[in-house]
Each structure stands twice: as C-alpha cells, then as structure tokens.
Structure 1
Amino acid sequence: MAERNVRWGILATGGIAAAFAADLVDLPDAEIVAVASRSHDPAKAFAERFGIPRAYGDWESLAGDEDIDVVYVATPHSAHRAAAGLCLEAGRNVLCEKAFTLNAREAGELVALAKERGSFLMEAMWMYCNPLVRRLKALVDDGAVGEVRTVQADFGLAGPFPPAHRLRDPAQGGGALLDLGVYPVSFAQLLLGEPADVMARAVLSEEGVDLQTGALLSWESGALASVHCSVVGGTGITASVTGSRGRIDVPDGFFHPDRFVLHRDGRDPEEFTLDPADGPRSSLRHEAKEVMRALRAGETESPLVPLDGTLAVMRTLDAIRERIGVRYPRETAAEESVTVQS
C-alpha cells in the first residue's frame, strides 16, 4: 500500500458521502473503486458522478470486495452498527461516520470486532483531524491557558424540520444530540477526557426525540463543560476554553474553524488562522489522510481519533440520553428480548 493508491469503498450515497467523495477525488494517493447503496440506481448515479468503476445495489457486495482497502460508512448513525459490522466481519478496514453508533454497547461491539479481526477502525470525527483544532489542543496541552476551568460549545440549527425528517425519527436515532451534540461533547472530551458526572435537560418532540438539549459535564479536577445542541434554533456554533491563565475563543464553526483567538493574561490577543494550503475549512480530506497514513503504517487505530476516546464519548451521550429520557425503538426491543429470554 505504501507504493500505490489507497483504494476506498463508500457505503451510502447521501450528502456526507458525496462531500467525502469530492475530497477524496482531490487526493492524489486515494482512489475510490466502489460504492454501494441499498438499491442499484442510486449507487450507479453516484458512481457516474464521481467516476467510480463499480456500483453495488447491496452492502454485502461492497463488504466482500477484496479490492477495497478501507470502507467509508456514511449511512445514518442508526445503521452504523450493521453497516460497519458487516464490513469488519468481511475483513475490511472501516472509517465510520459519527455519531459512531446509537449507543456505547453497539460501539463496544464494533471495537471488539475490529480487534478480533485485526482491522483498522476509526470514527469519522473530522474535527479531531482538523489542523487548527489540533493546534488548539496542543496549546491547551502545553499550558497556554493554564489549568482548564471551563469549556463551552454549542451547535444549533434553526429548522424547522418536519416530523418525517430523519432528525425527528426515533427509528433513525433522531434528535439534536447524536447528530449535532456529538460535536460539543467531543470537543470538551478532546481537552478534558471523560467526565466524572453528567447533568442534562432537554425539550422533547412528540415523537420522543430531543429538539434541544443542554448538559453540564464535570470532572474531578473541578473543570466544568457546558454543551448545547438544538434543531429548533440556530446558534453561533461557537466554543471557548477558559483556564487559570487565559482563554481561547473559537468565534464560529468550532468543529471546522478557520480561526481562533488566544487570550493570555497580561498579553495581547493572538489570532491563529487556517493555512490556505490545508484547503477550505469544510474539507474532509484531513480525516481521509489520517486513515491512509495509519493504514500505510500498519496501525489498527488512529492516535488522533483513538477508539477509547470514541467509546468514552458514546458513554457520555448515553448518560445524557438517560437523564433526558430519550430511548430508541431498537434499544427498547433489545431490552424486551433479553427480558423474555431470561
């Protein structure tokens, strides 16, 4: 693989799959060799759009294609366990969109399966691979703001989304938290690790998914994080990190920033901006490049997006959902099945 292109398969044909494919096409050492959907027509149309040689009308054919080095799973998160699991069972390496799964139990199953097969597995948390986010984390780790006291992050969309939309559909893991809240939670845990305690409140829809959720995360160090997500009100999508000797503000689009400002006590503010050579702020190329780097190095997970970190975020999302009373039909059905069997 070190001497040839990394060969990608794409599972699903929605908007995020198209955005990822467009960025892969621009990488000289990446090649998309196959795409799959649940039916042939959308797969064929996607293949024609991006010049992909093979289009499959089922997931199994893609998973079994031994010409593929790694599969990008871009389905809704309610299908991640099934789609990524199918690929891992077939011996494929996998990059899986976020939220990684519906819950921590499913995430643990995928991680265990990847380790059993010796396959690479990574959550597509592109924020963690963003060069400017990596710079921000390095500054915090180096003590630029002192000991971290608080983290704030929000992600809200104005909507409104109709009841039939996937964001309102419990069967598809709908709601603000898994689709948007995963970013503020992941941002806080990037800097502070897994919280010791979780408090949360939410406004739920008639369907039983969260329309907006606020959570307060706390750590043994005394640090606190306030995170918020919404599908009924557009927010600034901002973040800040306050420490004992300063503060970092990300003024907009914190999960793919083009700039942030470091305020150190007794010093003038310092602005850090995205290098134009790194491409547009919306680029997904950085996570793709990290996957390819890891595969060529023979690694089964990325140090930028470690599996333990993914599992920790899923546990926090589970804890928030427990506090706000959101459960998905598949989870309830699984519990009822266990009860009947016992």
Structure 2
Amino acid sequence: HFINFTRCLISYIVELCGERLRNLTVVSSFLGWVTGVCLVSLLSWLIADWKYLLWALNLPSAIFFLFWWLIPESPRFLLSKDKIPKFKKIMTKIAKCNGKKIGPEFESLVVIAQEEEKKKKVPFTMVLKSFSLIKHLILLSIALSLAFMFYTGISLNLHNMTGNMFLNYFMLTIFELPGILFGHWSSAYFGRRLSAVFFQSLATINIIIPVFFLDSPWTVSLFCSISKMFSGSTYVCLYKQIGELFPTPLRASAYGITGVIALAATVIVPSIIAIGHDSKATPYYFLCGFVLLQTITISFLPETLGIPYPQTIKEAMVIGKDQSYFSIIYKGNLHKKRSNQTTKAEETKD
C-alpha cells in the first residue's frame, strides 16, 4: 500500500506543480522518504519488541487522513473527468493562495482547456505504435528494475555484513541524503543522462571494493554506503527522465508501469542474498552486476535536459531522434544543441 501511495504522490506532484518547481518538489519527497528510513534504524534499536516496533512505525501513517482535507484534488484530474464546478473552486483557491485574481476570461479558458484535455485522452496502448516510446519504456523499466534490485539487495545484505546491524543500516540510509542532492544538482547542470551514467559508474566501483575487505566492518559498511549514495543520485535522474520522456496523458501510467515491473523484479533478490550465508562475497558480485547493467542501459536513453514536458504523443516521439549515442548535452552547450536540433527538425518538415 505504501508503494501505491508513493506512485500516487509522484503523479500528483507532476500534475499539480508548475514546471519550475516540479523536480524540486519530487526531490523533496525523496528527502522525506530517506529521513523516515533513517529513523527506522533508531526506532529498531530503541524498541526491541517487533510488535511494538510495528505500532511505532505504522501509527504515524494516520496523519495521512488529514490529506483528505488539506490537499486539493488534482485540477487536471477534475478537468479530465468533467467535474468543472470542483475544478473552478480549486483553481479559485489556488489563485487566492498565489495572490492572483480570476479574470473575466477564466470561463472561456476553462472551455478551451476542457476541449484540449479531451483530445489528450489516449489509451496507453498507443505507446505500442511508436518505436521511440516503446524503446524508452523498455529501457526505463530495465533501469528501474536493476535500481530496485540493487536497493533491495544491499538492504537485505545487512545480515551478511559484519559489525553492528543498526549502525550499518543507518549508514546505508543517511548516505542517501547527499546522494539525492547530488543527483538533483548534477542533473540540472550536466544533464540527466551524463549524470546518471557517471554516478552509476561510481556506484559500480564502490560496491565491488568490499569483496577485498570482508573482515573489516567499517570498510564494508563505508563503501556499501557510498555505492548506495551514488545509486540514489542515479535514481533521481531516472525519475526526472520518466516524466520528461512521456506525454501528459501517459505520464502517470509510465510511472506506474515502470514501478510495477521494477517491484516484480525484486522477487529474485532474497534468494540471491541468501547465498551470502555460505559465501559472503557472492552477493556483492551480483550487486555489482546490477549497477553495471544499469549503467549500460541508462547510456541508451536520450538527454532530456532543457526539453519542455511533452504534452502530446507526437512531441514525445521525436525526443532523442537528433541525438547520437556519444552526444553530450549539458547546461553550457544546451542552447546551441537545442537550436541545432530545432533547425534540423524544421528542415525535415520542409
């Protein structure tokens, strides 16, 4: 149920927040998640009885019921369901919070937006008619599956690590905080693709180092934490790309489908980690393989830095078509690269 909640949260953020604050809001939700996971290690250490621990972990979730009154429904969702009175009420409230006034042209704009929303209603099967969208969906599903497998594996591998289990778990989670910030900052300046490949390469290197220091608790814990930190940075880049590669009508479905596939892939992870009972080095070889394959997979995704969120399937289909495999787009050459791509696109139309 928590996973379903996070999927709904991401979709809600994408639909409600403006483009300028959208990525920052998603990253803030990631930081909140990591902070909560860090507290789990503290509570586990303080509360020895697992029954009381479950109560301590689940009771705070009751605060979510307040969301029913505090957080409005997505205006885009209401518009798509023809619930115009509720849509107008929420938009009026949003305008008031932002210090704006609803103008006389609001009614005509609502009609236009409603017609445009109807045109955007397309089934997810439309993805199957576009090679570009199918490729992006498959690559993102594989990359996210490997990310989830690594995340799950390194957490379950606590039983095979020497040293204090609670301290190891705390280190594995606290290192994610700077990782998320690194990922957000780097992806905004050096691009999503280049940042993800770079961070995932570092994660690959760091996760294989513990194999040579299995009897050193601090060394194993440190390099596992660093590897997870860089993997968290990649995770931020991937989530940005999912929203930027799929059009508005299919964006929420893309988040959902890639997430479900990724979660299904983690089923095999406990069996792999169990091998560590007889061979402590073996799980690290598998974890290294996960992040290495993820690095290769991510390298085939197009760069989406500076591209507006696609509103239609046609806009999403052309993303990456003018990029070669070895092209590098970052903030420094963004304007030049995008201008060249726009010129080529116009020449192709002519």
- Pairwise TM-score range, normalised by the shorter structure: under 0.3
Please state which structure has a larger fraction of its residues in strand: 1
Larger helix proportion of the pair: 2
TM-score (normalizing by structure 1): 0.27
Q: Find the structure with the greater CA-based Rg.
A: 2
| Higher RCO, Cα 8 Å, sep 6+ | 2
